[in-house]
Amino acid sequence: MRPVRQRLIFLFLLIRLTAAYPQEEKIPYYIMEAAEELSEYDTDADAAGEFAVRLSELAEKPIRINTADENELSGLFFLTDFQIKSLADYIRKTGKIYTIYEIAAIPGFDASLARMIAPFVSLDDYKQINGKPSGFRNDLLSNFTLKYPEADTSAPGESWKILARYRFSAGKFSGHITSEKDAGEKLFPGKMPVTDFLSAGLVWEGAGLIRKVIAGDFGARYGLGTAINTGLRTGLSLTQTGYLTGGDEIRPYTSGDENLFFRGVAVQLRRGNTGMTMFCSRNRIDASTDTAENSQMVTIRTFQRSGLHTTASSLASKDAVAESSYGISFSTDIRALRLNLLWVQNRFSVPVMNNDPSPGELYDFSGRTSSTASAAYRYMPGRLLLYGEISLNLPDRKAWVQGISFRPSDRLSVNMVYRHYDPGFFSFHGKGLFSSSSGDNSEGLFGNFIFEAARHLFLSAGADVRSHPWLRYRCSAPSTTFGREIRLRYLPTENFSFEAVYSKRASVYDITESTGIKKQNETEASLLKLSFRYLASDHLTLTTRIDCKRVSPSGSEGIIMLQDVSWRISGIPATLWFRHCIIRTGDWDSRIYAYENDLVNSFSVPALWGNGSRTCIMLTVKAWKSTDLRIKFASGDSYGSEGNKNSGEMKIQVRVRF
């Protein structure tokens, strides 16, 4: 047994390390990459916010890695499968990890990665880390956001957005209430003093047969997520894959997406290596409806996912349809093999009619009921990992995914994934591996490798080709998209890191000017990102980033240069973060996305374009022992032939823990 002194030294180091890094330092680079990818290529604006919520939860409730099994370790979703396995194997062999520096010595990890995961893991039990017993704990968070100019001046409500979230935990019980008013919505749109979106849930967690019970709003994920995944989409970055194989979980729903979650009861059981989850849900969701002239029958025209209710039509579509969902899942572990079976059914109170579809809608869902059966496996013998999933929309639409990862040496890992999503395959709560936000109509092959070329030097490269056998958004013909990326990371010291990423993506889109039958052309975007991070002292962190983009055939070019300064002010518990960014892009096509620091539980990845600048400043103050205050101000200017445009936002967050 190691001496107590050593533990105390470690504890001091851990606290010092965590305190030395401001909030943005805790965001793993994989998350920033994924958030930028989501913002650029995904039409779901809220998707990036899910990362913020998950990271915030992880930071608040770090994973106790010394007692966690592989499934629990997979909560560190930004690690790869091999890193999770490597970590689990190391703990199994040595019994316990005593210092964060031990993690750096585990195959697949390095000092930078160990430092990155430090805020999200606990090396001992909860009592020792926090110095007080886990009694009744409360967490109240409130965000206020005001943007200018107003996006919609005709909206019925005030232009500010407010979010309030209360969470508590008491022994085996925990719960949450989330309330949100989007910009332009009325604070209390109905007769009751309740905001537009209200979500609540109660959770009980045990260690016996019944592991978890959730009553209220919850999210779920099974297998690779093709059938159900209300959480993070995987397979976003070509060179930073993260935890590809996902896992099985039900969790209280705390995200801001107003339509994706389940509302009901979920129960998770486990005995030995076998687990079972059951859930039932009835939730009202947004949809535009039509009424047939002859029959007076109401049907669903489209589902609305934005959650924004500021126009007459969006208010009419609010909670227009009741969705009932039932599901049951079995999983079992047989040595290195994990099997998972899932059946889920969705039933809508109003049918979706697709009587006279346009070519793009030919395969769209119609009817009242959808059933999906899914089977997934994961097999990990030694340095090889095989995983796959097949999902069937009964009776005949399917999605299947097959992946292989192997690690021929500790310094090299290789991933390949094939996936096929039938046109018309729909999973109302699914986000499969490498799926798009629409989730269907693609077949593709992905491959990448990550190689530690030398000490402190990491090289990774990836390519993805996908074909769309049927029409898709902004493309009225079958098409193919292609992406490749190469990344170099150099971490010569703990204080300095350098990263260079070059990516190229080719996609086919309709030519907007073409008349009659739409013609398409291929658009290729090349992006070079250079970033330097330097920890000048315990108090000062500098990040410099330069991005260059070129789009062909238009020839549009863009460049941004930004500087971040994060300064932990001596003597007072406050951190000041400042960013100034100069932007010069030809047009919207050559826009560049750059992650920027934001409030806890929030994400900000603005699209930077035009000729101008963007300046942000954020002050984080620990006002009292249990109260954190964050104030962010951001302003952007753009000058050009279309005139001068100014935009900005102010955000205030108050968080009280007691």
Partner 1 sequence: MYSLHKISVSTIFIFLFSSASGGDPFFPAAGAGEAGMGWSCVTKPGFWSSFHNQALLPFNSTASAGINYHGRFGISELGTRSAALIVPVENAGLGIIYSHFGCRDLARHSAGLACGLKLSEKISAGVQADFFAEKTAGEYRERRSLSFEAGLHIMISEQACLGIHVFNPVPGALRRDYLPSSLRIGAGIMLSRELSVSSEAELSTDGGPDIRTGFEYSPSGSLRLRGGFSSQGNSFCFSVGYRLKQVQIDLGFSTHYSLGISSSASIIFSLK
Task: Give the Cβ contact number of residue 493 at 10 Å.
Answer: 11
> Considering the rule CB under 8 A, would residue 648 count as an interface residue with partner 1?
yes
Site for partner 1 in 574-603 (CB under 8 A): 580-584
Q: How far is the CB of 182 from partner 1 (least distance, A)?
A: 23
62 cis-preceded (ω within 30 degrees of 0): no
210 versus 536: smaller Cβ distance to partner 1: 536
CA separation for the pair 500, 502 (Å, rounded): 7
Provide the 8-state DSSP code for 17: H
- Provide the sign of the torsion angle of the four alpha carbons 406, 38, 84, 6, taken in this order: positive
168 versus 498: smaller Cβ distance to partner 1: 498
Site for partner 1 in 608-627 (CB under 8 A): 611-613, 615
Q: Which of 425, 379, 376, 384 is nearest to 401 (CA)?
A: 376
129: which 2 tokens? 């880390």
Binding mask 310-349 toward partner 1 (x if CB under 8 A, else -) reads ----------------------------------------
For partner 1, which stretch binds (CB under 8 A), given 46-54, 104-112, 152-160, 643-651?
A: 643-651
Site for partner 1 in 539-568 (CB under 8 A): 540, 542, 544, 546, 559-563, 565
246: which 2 tokens? 């996902």
Tell me how many degrees the CA angle 651-592-531 measures, rounded to the nearest 5.
Answer: 90
Q: How far is the CB of 383 from partner 1 (least distance, A)?
A: 40
Q: How far is the CB of 496 from partner 1 (least distance, A)?
A: 8
Q: Which of 203, 194, 418, 224 is nearest to 318 (CA)?
A: 194
6 versus 644: smaller Cβ distance to partner 1: 644
CA separation for the pair 494, 359 (Å, rounded): 56
What amino acid occupies position 221? Answer: R
Residues facing residue 529 across a β-bridge = 501, 547
> Considering the rule CB under 8 A, would residue 252 count as an interface residue with partner 1?
no
What amino acid occupies position 411? Answer: R
Binding mask 489-528 toward partner 1 (x if CB under 8 A, else -) reads -------x--------------------------------
> Considering the rule CB under 8 A, would residue 67 count as an interface residue with partner 1?
no
CA separation for the pair 610, 605 (Å, rounded): 16
**Options 40, 72, 534, 621; binder of partner 1; rule CB under 8 A:** 534
Task: Give the Cβ contact number of residue 272 at 10 Å.
Answer: 7
Burial 235-259 (b: 16+ CB within 10 A, else e): bbbbbbbbbbbbbbbbbbbbbbbbb
> Considering the rule CB under 8 A, would residue 569 count as an interface residue with partner 1?
no
**Options 9, 322, 511, 536; binder of partner 1; rule CB under 8 A:** 536
> Considering the rule CB under 8 A, would residue 371 count as an interface residue with partner 1?
no
Q: How far is the CB of 563 from partner 1 (least distance, A)?
A: 6
> Considering the rule CB under 8 A, would residue 260 count as an interface residue with partner 1?
no
> Considering the rule CB under 8 A, would residue 473 count as an interface residue with partner 1?
no
Interacting residue ranges for partner 1, rule: CB under 8 A = 148, 496, 534, 536-537, 540, 542, 544, 546, 559-563, 565, 580-584, 611-613, 615, 635-637, 639, 644, 646, 648
